[in-house]
Structure 1
């Protein structure tokens, strides 16, 4: 799609960060995305407010000034990003209900600016419609439909982000794949959900099931679930529970929760998410771990970058073999690449993955 607008990154007057470093990070991302952009430090509150009114995509990095932060409520079109985590668990700035389609990223450090710029560009290149499936601010999906043709008859792809089930990571991680899949003829649903660090494991499981049910709904054709990292576990588990799913795809997924907990993956992410160890909560692990649920009874594509974390590589290889031995229809795809290459729409491993998905969904050969 044509993208002529300049991306403006505006920093608040009280931001604690090296402006030169932020500019270097932003310039690299502008070049990678093929867009024009600049970083503009606001000297005071009026300058910050004026920058938010810019006509093109805006990424706002407000810093600690409460007056600058309070502007979020009136400017939901901007992508807001905090480099820091909230002061206390459960705290969130700005108020999550500040506007339809509002985006707030936090707790990812300077690297969060990269994701904020990507999100701003992707949502301008291929606008999405936000669809709620519950009353909580994290219960929504952003839907991108293919151009032309009968969008109502398009196959459905539901994408589930990773981040070791932690709330600092969100659905923006999957933006690039949603844009790519919409371009390939899919109705792409980018699903957000309540994460267990703030809401508990049952809420996460319930949200994914509800979101998938809404997306599948009266879908006239195939329904594909695609999950990355922790989202790979969620996708495979949801596929085992919902027989409307015709293909489940794990991208560098945490597909064996018992072994993942034993190996302390993600600094104890599995135990923290599920509320205990495998010995302490055996029923939760039995219901949630794809390895424990075999056979799933659903065709699967298991994708793993050869340069990823060695334990994830081990889990992926062993899971694929176990699923095949259990009688599931499983394709295992391993290529060079790291953990985030599998969700980079320009990477060879994603192009191979997309080809495998479209080959299943469009047997006549359509792939764009």
Structure 2
């Protein structure tokens, strides 16, 4: 097994955080109960030691005027009116500070350079948009494209302390989940990326074309291209994938065992054939791969981590015991099968749910960090 030198053992997200105030702007005729929006805008930033306020615009000119007022970060619900939505593409100093939020499944929307767009998550999306606004304001990332499509990029965050002379620091590559549906994006991994950078890892948080819009081949090609784009002069890779991203991370590691020092599944879907038979994610596996396992056995055999064993790469399987039973089941079975096939595989189970495994404030995340340092030593 190829071992990597330890990165700097930092504290993760710094204890003393820059105070960020997020202004939520409600565009004309935007859906959602005003009081509930205000409750979310108060509660979610508070969890991140930030604050929020809510302002409403009666028409598009009023919304434009609000966007020109001084603010550290905006989350904007533009609503359905064309005149208000045209503001999404307008350049200006506000663009890099703005997260546009559509509660409906609108599909990707074009926004001005530097701005972000989240759609299709309902009002729960407001919490994700607020988190994204805080993280990108407090810990800015450098956007690095690895292809020509708008979804082919990585947000790169580097540790504050420089690499020690002569040391080979492993690079953390994050692959988000969301059952391969386009409403979920790389912002899911913002907190994880910030925490890992604070612990000394250079971090690449990958975006990729999702199969519901582009097909399975495009998705797997993008993850492979993203890993290949990590500069050749950097250290070996620690690839961490959450949920559906766990599938992609371990599959990509199997295709590049010489470069990957450790593959980490965070509540990953590691047995796609069984996931299809059990209709995990309301049929998400068949949607992603283009059909059921009975129709596409070769595609499943190539895509499913448990069918690719031995991967030839050490694996850390992280699973919350409070997650859905099918996730717990597949994590345990994969770890046993990997060890039986000759791979080094560690199963880390702790109390917690599906999203606790990517929450730096959770006990299971802290246990995972300790295990990563141990495995890289």
Aligned twin of 1:141? 154
Aligned equivalents of 1:182 and 1:101: distance in 2? 21
Normalising by structure 1, we get a TM-score of: 0.93
> SS of 1:266's equivalent?
coil
Runs of at least 4 residues off by over 6 Å: none
Question: CA deviation digits over 1:187-229, x for unaligned, max 9?
Answer: 11000000000000000010000001112x3144231000000
Partner of 1:268: 283
User: Counterpart in 2 of 1:109?
Assistant: 122
Per the TM alignment, residue 142 of structure 1 is displaced from its structure 2 partner at its CA by 0.3
Other-structure match for 1:99? 112
User: CA contact under 8 A between 1:274 and 1:285: conserved in structure 2?
Assistant: yes
Asked if residue 234 in structure 1 is aligned to residue 254 in structure 2, the reply is no
Residue of 290, 293, 301 corresponding to 2:305: 290
Residue 312 of structure 1: aligned partner: 327
Is the contact made by 2:174 and 2:240 (CA closer than 8 Å) also made in structure 1? yes
Tell me: CA distance 1:154–1:100, structure 2 relative to 1, closer, same or farther (3 Å). Answer: farther
Q: How many Å apart are 1:160 and its aligned residue?
A: 0.3
Equivalent pairs, count: 354
User: Is 2:341 the partner of 1:326?
Assistant: yes
Unaligned runs of at least 5 residues, structure 1: 364-368
1:81 paired with 2:98, answer: no
Shift of 1:6: 1.4
SS in 1 for 2:23: strand
**1:189 aligned to 2:212?**
no
Query: Aligned-pair distance for 1:302?
Result: 0.1
1:45 Cα deviation from its structure 2 partner: 2.0
Bigger relative contact order, structure 1 or 2 (CA pairs below 8 A, ≥6 apart)? 2
3-state SS in 2 of match to 1:14:
coil
Structure 1: distance between partners of 2:115 and 2:146: 16
For the residue of structure 1 that corresponds to 2:281, the secondary structure is helix
Normalising by structure 2, we get a TM-score of 0.91
- In the TM superposition, what is the alpha-carbon distance from 1:33 to its structure 2 partner? 0.8
Distance in 2 (CA, whole Å) between partners of 1:234 and 1:56 is 35
| 8 Å CA contact 1:101, 1:130 repeated in 2 | no
1:60 aligns with 2:76: yes
Where do residues 140-159 of structure 1 align in structure 2 (5 Å cutoff)?
Answer: 140-150=153-163, 154-159=169-174
CA distance in 2, matches of 1:333, 1:172: 25
Query: 1:270 is paired with a residue of what secondary structure?
Result: helix
